[in-house]
Amino acid sequence: MDAQQTVGFAHFLQQTDGLGKTVFGVLLVMSVATWYLIIIKTLQTWLARRRTMRFLENFWDAPSLQAVAVDLEQRHRPEEPFSHLAWHAIVAARHHQRHSANKLNEAGSATEFLTRSMRRVIDEETARLETGLTMLASVGSTAPFVGLFGTVWGIYHALINIGMSGQGTLDKVAGPVGEALIMTAAGLAVAVPAVLAYNAFVRSNRMVLAKLDSFAHDLFAFLTTGSHVNEVAAVLPLTARLAQSKGAA
């Protein structure tokens, strides 16, 4: 009974050396960082989704882009991806109209200027959405190996102690070796949530970016056909204009 009580996780931490405790500390830090990112990004995704639904509802119900611009100006710095894109697109269109659209030799660059501005915002939102995913991917791929290293080191440490004591019976070997396997289990316990969370966030980001790209096409059409530069912008279909703008960039 006493031998069974001394075998366990607490006993393993007491008997292991500094390297084993360091490995366990690394796994503990990985676990804390993983769950912190999971909680923070889940809350951010939930809040962004609610704000996106509210903004898109207001956007499509607005009487004009001018009304949308007035609403966005009152927010000062919209942080939601769709309103952020709309705000910068409207600002870019106004900037080109005020400073370049009145020049005949620069009128044709309005769509290119607007496309570059919108694509820059989409790239920024993509980078923002991917924040923390590298950490989750790294934890998911390395935590099992860190736990395996801890197990190997624990078995080595246990065998050295058994060899020094001269007692190689089954009860003396099974306990320390079984305790060493705790590190492998800990590595898997850290890696599995990280991998699942990474896959979930990647899928969520992919859906958001697809909707953002579709909204960018609609917004691009409104801004190019609803302003006084539409004589040039409306000559080609929207897809052809975007393709030409990409080639020019």
Write out the residue range of the structural domain in which residue 60 sits.
25-141+183-248
CA distances from 58 to 13, 50, 54, 85, 96 (A): 58, 12, 6, 15, 26
pTM beyond 0.75: no
Q: What is the distance of C-alpha 105 from the center of its chain? A: 42
Residue 188 resides in a domain: yes
- Give per-residue pLDDT as tens, 34-69: 999 999 999 999 988 888 898 888 888 887 777 887
Q: Classify each residue of 204-236 as buried b or exposed e, where b means 16 or more C-beta atoms within 10 Å of its C-beta.
A: bbeebbeebeebbeebbebbbeebebeebbeee
**Model confidence band, residue 4 (pLDDT cutoffs 50, 70, 90):** very low
The answer to the question of residue 149 being in a domain is no
Q: How many separate domains does the chain show? A: 1
Q: Where are the alpha helices (DSSP H) in the chain?
A: 2-5, 9-15, 18-61, 65-75, 81-99, 110-129, 133-165, 170-225, 230-233, 238-248
In a domain, 60, yes or no: yes
Please check whether residue 70 lies inside any domain of the structure: yes
Give the C-alpha separation, 35 to 227, whole Å. 48
Contact at 8 Å (CB) between 112 and 245? yes
User: Is 239 contained in some domain?
Assistant: yes
Identify whether 57 is part of a domain. Answer: yes
pLDDT, one tens digit per residue, over 67-119 is: 887 777 776 666 788 888 888 888 877 776 666 545 544 445 677 778 888 88
Residue keyed to tokens 């320390």? 176
Does a structural domain hold residue 132? yes
